[in-house]
Structure 1
């Protein structure tokens, strides 16, 4: 068993139980109903081999249960003495456990995860019509799974078939995920603790990659240093496909680690981090393959670092999600003007650059995203209501303590006759994970150097 399937610590059981109670309370406030939340399916990789199983994040958020073939049912209509939280999971099976490993089984899961009831998943189709009969509403992830949609239609049909006996099917069906998105958006101390550990492991992996890098290495060799460190320190997997990009490849935003050779004078951009106990980290660093930045590389690097500092300063409760992005844009755009990458005689002033998005060929992504159980985590970026802006968009949502997001400005300068040659094929991104505090934000990934001088010093010490 790994750390996700060992006996659950009492504090974690309480965390998951409290989350389920929050959902049940919200459903009761909406008039009651039954919520259905399955975990992710197992997916075949080829022939008789599956991809490594990874739970559904919403399901895990409410259960802490990491086995496949499982469904959580929350019954907001349950009366006193009736189960409100029911887990359907695989039964114990000595033969299958010989091949595939430990299973909790319903009885073990009931004890370990603080549920009201647990039943075999094979009983799901028999039990669900009974559970939803006479319930006012059904809540589930509408339209996200054709298989689940078909199951729900079958359960509803089974209830409707009892109509002459006075049994009624739910009158309304609601999308469950927006409720869970709002819950997941603000992290609790349990989540932040795991995210800190994931960030620390990922930072060590970046330090190791910097120290191991030498001209002549291939990208996949550098990636191997990252993956080794993740697993060595207990992370279950990378949080996403690792980006290890040498030279001009760094100008490709989602470049997968390949077999290109890191050459003297190249920059190496690494965007890679681990997932630990269901939570992601996300770090990007850019460093010179040979241990020293060229003057042009250092010039652009310092612009990106200054842009990140401005975005960090703007990341605090009470401001909009867009505020860090706008702060970074101003610094990056001014840097593009100062270096001559943007020609002032053609694009005009800083205000003109921002208004016309003249920076977009060199900075085409936003400065951050939510992070948590998923590397691009759940939660809306704009408010549900409020006046629309000139483009017809809703207002950006306001940052609150406990929210977690990345701060990741960059510059990507491809070879072009319109750009001074000394900047050709330089791609730089600097990314850290931030937790909103009461007064600002805390960067939890700064165990890996970010200043150019500190990076060079680390590489010289290897």
Structure 2
């Protein structure tokens, strides 16, 4: 791991909060993520199951967490099962957790090797009334392959068909949305690394550079500062490419007079930043580019003020749509007649701003949270309005990460250059 060990208090607290939501005499099991093949003899870089990491702090494949707070055998109320290393693994793969290291990372005393899982589970499972199992219930995801959690559910139902099964995901959805102080600090670190990468890019960008050269500057800064890497595939979209919302080719030359839309963020200790900026390739915005930019910035600043405890998701997005509508009319992109005659299911502003304004942020970039749950203190959300004008070869998106507190909200990216004048000064300094 590139990052220092996280304080185990985070995971001890997370487990305490989770088991407090279980029904009496319940056992819960969490699996690590699958290892996915990349080629004939390689796997993709391993990415831990966010729920397992949230509850244990263990960042390693082939891990299982067992929680059974009412277990009649006190030894097995919290148990972590790990892949046991050997001489072959030491030579070919290197570091794996020892039992002592896993204990220090997680705060769990009972650490066993994976080969002991079946016997230990079988010795206690018949005393439990309920078994909580986990799946990915993020409503942005639909699985097409039977990943490890799904396969494990089938195995459990086959072995223990008469138990009452429960879903862990509703509990995790409630807990993960509310960030603790340690999680906030890790997110701030990811935002800080992202800030430095953006400032590096401002100094580097000029007409003639390739989008992938800019991407190289970003990952250089991320890795140099101990980030795991990109929080998601970065978007380096110059000119017309900015109108492709998930543009990932990053293979075109950046031309004088164009604007580049960036959407990237660092991952640090499994926590993520998510930033969007738009900058002029030549170092100066044209008047039209600046007008569109400032319209997006106005929507962003106004929307940020609405990110407070108690705000309801749909009401918030409707309000942002009204703010964006006014800006698009001012820019001459839509008319009052367009608004008057619009289809309520697809308002006129959607022609130039077709995506949502905000999403939760955390261990997942689009973090697990309730779409119908009002915003609350402890939430971290993005604010990312955009205006996309294909006929002008121009796309502008701006995005910061906002923490809600009991006394208002805090912009975790307040230090990242945002105003057009600041960007121009840094590019020409």
Question: What TM-score, normalized to structure 1?
Answer: 0.86
Pick closer, same or farther for the CA change 1:95–1:265 going to 2, 3 Å.
same
Shift in Å, 1:448: 1.8
Q: CA RMSD, aligned part only?
A: 2.1
* Partner Cα distance (1:99, 1:341) in 2: 59
Q: Are 2:9 and 1:19 equivalent residues in the alignment? A: no
Q: Distance in 2 between the 1:89 and 1:442 partners?
A: 39
Q: Which residue of 2 aligns with 1:40?
A: 33
Contact (CA 8 Å) 2:11, 2:57: kept in 1 or not? yes
1:307-332 deviation per Cα after TM superposition (whole angstroms, max 9, x unaligned):
00110111111222345433432232
Partner of 2:224: 232
Mapped partners of 2:73, 2:148: distance in 1: 33
- Write the mapping of 1:98-109 to structure 2, written as runs, cut at 5 A: 98-109=91-102
Distance 1:354 1:150 in 2: 43
Question: For residues 176-223 of structure 1, what are the alpha-carbon distances to aligned partners after superposition, in whole Å with 9 as ceiling and x for unaligned?
Answer: 111011100010000000000100110111111122100111110111
From 439, 447, 452, the equivalent of 2:407 is 439
Gaps of 5+ in 1: 161-168, 383-396, 416-423
Alignment counterpart, residue 62 of structure 2, candidates 55, 65, 69 = 69
- TM-fit CA distance, 1:303: 0.5
Of the three residues 349, 359, 367, the one matched with 1:359 is: 349
Give the SS at the match of 1:26.
coil
> Given the superposition, is the C-alpha separation of residues 369 and 150 from structure 1 closer, same or farther in structure 2, using an over 3 Å criterion?
closer
Q: Does 1:267 align with 2:256?
A: no
Find the residue that maps to 1:133 and give its secondary structure: helix
Give aligned pairs, total: 421
Match of 2:317? Answer: 325
Q: Residue 375 of structure 2: SS of its match in structure 1? A: coil
Q: Distance in 1 between matches of 2:74 and 2:26?
A: 17
Instruction: Mark the CA change 1:402 to 1:142 in structure 2 (over 3 Å): closer, same or farther.
Output: closer
Aligned to 2:140: none
Give 2:308's aligned residue: 316
Tell me if the contact between 1:223 and 1:242 (Cα under 8 Å) persists in the aligned partners.
Answer: yes
Identify unmatched segments of 5+ residues in structure 2: 137-142
Q: Is contact 1:370-1:405 (8 Å) kept?
A: yes
SS at match of 2:72: coil
The question of 1:2 aligning with 2:29 is answered no
Task: State the Cα distance separating 1:152 from its structure 2 match.
Answer: 4.1
1:96 to 73, 89, 92: 89
Q: Secondary structure at 2:283's aligned position in 1?
A: coil
Residue from 78, 82, 85 that aligns with 2:78: 85
* Preserved CA contact (<8 Å) 2:82 2:111: yes
Quote the Cα distance in structure 1 between the aligned partners of 2:131 and 2:197.
45
The structural deviation recorded for 1:306 is 0.4
> Is the aligned partner of 1:373 residue 2:373?
no
- Give 1:111 deviation, angstroms: 4.6
Paired residues of 2:2 and 2:227 also in contact (CA < 8 A): no
Structure 1 counterpart SS, 2:207: coil
- For residues 151 and 190 of structure 2, the distance between their equivalents in structure 1, rounded to whole angstroms, comes to 37
CA distance change for structure 1 residues 277 and 156 in 2, over 3 Å: closer, same or farther? same
CA distance 1:413–1:189, shift in 2 (3 Å): same
CA drift of 1:348 comes to: 4.6
Instruction: Give the corresponding residue for 1:110.
Output: 103
- The answer on whether the counterparts of 2:133 and 2:153 sit within 8 Å (CA) in structure 1 is no
Distance 1:51 1:348 in 2: 48
When normalised by structure 2's length, the TM-score is 0.93
Q: Which residue of 1 aligns with 2:139?
A: none
Counterparts of 2:287 and 2:101, CA distance in 1 = 62
Q: Tell me how far apart the structure 2 counterparts of residues 142 and 200 of structure 1 sit (CA, whole Å).
A: 32
Match for residue 302 of structure 1? 294
Task: Work out the CA distance in 2 between the residues paired with 1:108 and 1:336.
Answer: 56
In structure 2, distance between residues paired with 1:427 and 1:306: 16
